[in-house]
Amino acid sequence: MALFTVSGIRIAGMAACVPLQKLANIDYEWINERERKMFIKTVGISERRVAPPEHTTSDWCFASAQKLIDQLGWQPADIGLIVFVSQSPDYFVPATCMTLHKRLGLPQTTMAFDINLGCSGWVYAMSVVSSLMKSCGINKALVMAGDKSTMSMSYKDKSTYPLFGDGGTATALCLDPNAAPMVFNMQSDGNRHQAIIIPHGATRTPVNETTYQELEYAPGVIRHQRHLALDGMAVFNFSINEVPINIKETAEAAGKQLNDYDFVVLHQANKLMTEQIRRKLSLSVEQVPYSIGEFGNTSSASIPLTIVYKARQAVSTGKPWLLMSGFGVGLSWATLSAQFDHIVCPELIEM
């Protein structure tokens, strides 16, 4: 069971960056106006940020990391580890952490690698990075997480197109013997790997003559094999049934009650889904902040983006406790219990 505690690591800062361009779902003409209004009310996504072709996830992560490093007063030479977590890399080869390593001006003594995960990715990267820092004595590290999801959506697929937004984030961690322990609870289920999938274009099924043939899977659901396919009902059931258990176990392992947490930050996928989780856990409305209305599902950026957007004052001026849970593509799900102690948290960056 991957339920464990990492002590002596402090979250020093957090920053997030989104594209400037907004797309409003009320203008999504592929579906009728009634359905658009129903979608906005039920799923909770009014608008999303959409990247221009020339921007990538690493651009938003770089902007976030650079601002964080400046405000923290860190020197590039001090950073011993960076991890980029995303499913929209700059290239197939090399890993995107390398372009970030160059742009941040980091030394050859920095350890750098990518993690390929989506909705659960930020929590996964936090567990890997904090554990490595602790076991290897690395003083300072950065987790950079996000996705350019919109480029993988079919406009003619109402089950995916209005859901996703783009963005990238950076989280700074440092060794601190006085930091409150972090508790992680990490889970996976590969049996359900087809629930969220881009079927073609990598090595299992390279692009072939059928890849770009559009097929209609249901009314209003037309896409090709390089588009993201989402089994919404399966993911919905997974989320409302498995995630509350994982969250409860995490709080219990941290020796806390759920109402001890100032914020419970849930991955922003679908408001009907997260409200169901909130009610199952008897959490108050005030405990569960949202960024989904303005940014949609931003994949691994969603937890740090929500904190920057909705809890910035609290995490930068006080010592709140947060429970943060990412869940989705994989299927993969994970929760982190941590205290934020006067972190550096610049305002949301737009570019």
Partner 1 sequence: MTDTAEEFVSKLEIEFDDFEPGTITPETKYREMEEWSSMHALIVIAFINAEYNVTLNGEDLRNTETLLDIYNITKSKLN
By the rule CB under 8 A, 184 interacts with partner 1: no
Task: CB nearer to partner 1: give 270 or 299.
Answer: 270
The answer to whether residue 350 forms part of the interface with partner 1 (CB under 8 A) is no
**Nearer Cβ to partner 1 (67/278):** 278
- The stretches of the chain forming alpha helices (DSSP H) are 33-43, 57-72, 97-103, 121-136, 232-253, 271-280, 292-295, 302-310, 312-317
Instruction: Tell me: does residue 25 bind partner 1 (CB under 8 A).
Output: no
From candidates 5, 7, 42, 75, binder to partner 1 by CB under 8 A: 42
Per-residue x/- marks for partner 1, 106-125, CB under 8 A? Answer: --------------------
* Contact status, residue 307 vs residue 281, Cβ threshold 8 Å: no
284 binds partner 1 (CB under 8 A): no
Smaller CB distance to partner 1: residue 55 or 158? 158
197 φ, ψ to 5°? -155, 145
Q: Which two tokens stand for residue 22?
A: 């907004």
At how many degrees (to 10) do helices 33-43 and 271-280 cross?
Answer: 30
Residue 240 makes contact with partner 1 by CB under 8 A: yes
Q: At what angle do helices 121-136 and 302-310 cross, to 10 degrees?
A: 90
The span of 40-48, 60-68, 106-114, 142-150 binding partner 1 (CB under 8 A) equals 40-48
**236 near partner 1 (CB under 8 A):** yes
Distances (CA, A) of 233 to 89, 120, 195: 28, 18, 9
Cβ burial 206-221 (10 Å sphere, 16+ → b, else e): eeeeeeeeeeeeeeeb
**Binding of residue 237 to partner 1 (CB under 8 A):** yes
Q: Which is nearer to partner 1, 38 or 202 (CB)?
A: 38
Supply the minimum distance, in Å, between the C-beta of residue 249 and partner 1: 19
Q: State which residue, 35 or 294, has the beta carbon closest to partner 1.
A: 35
Report the 10 Å Cβ neighbour count for 293. 15
- CB-based contact 187:198 (threshold 8 Å): no
Contact 177, 87 (CB under 8 A): no
In angstroms, the Cα distances linking 307 to 131, 198, 293, 312 are 22, 29, 14, 6
Which of these segments, 17-25, 35-43, 147-155, 248-256, binds partner 1 (CB under 8 A)?
35-43
Of 71, 131, 211, 276, the residue at the interface with partner 1 (CB under 8 A) is 276
- Based on the shown chain and the rule CB under 8 A, indicate whether residue 249 belongs to the binding site for partner 1: no
User: Where along the sequence are the contacts to partner 1 (CB under 8 A)?
Assistant: 34-35, 38-39, 41-43, 158-159, 231-234, 236-237, 240-241, 270, 272-273, 276, 279-280
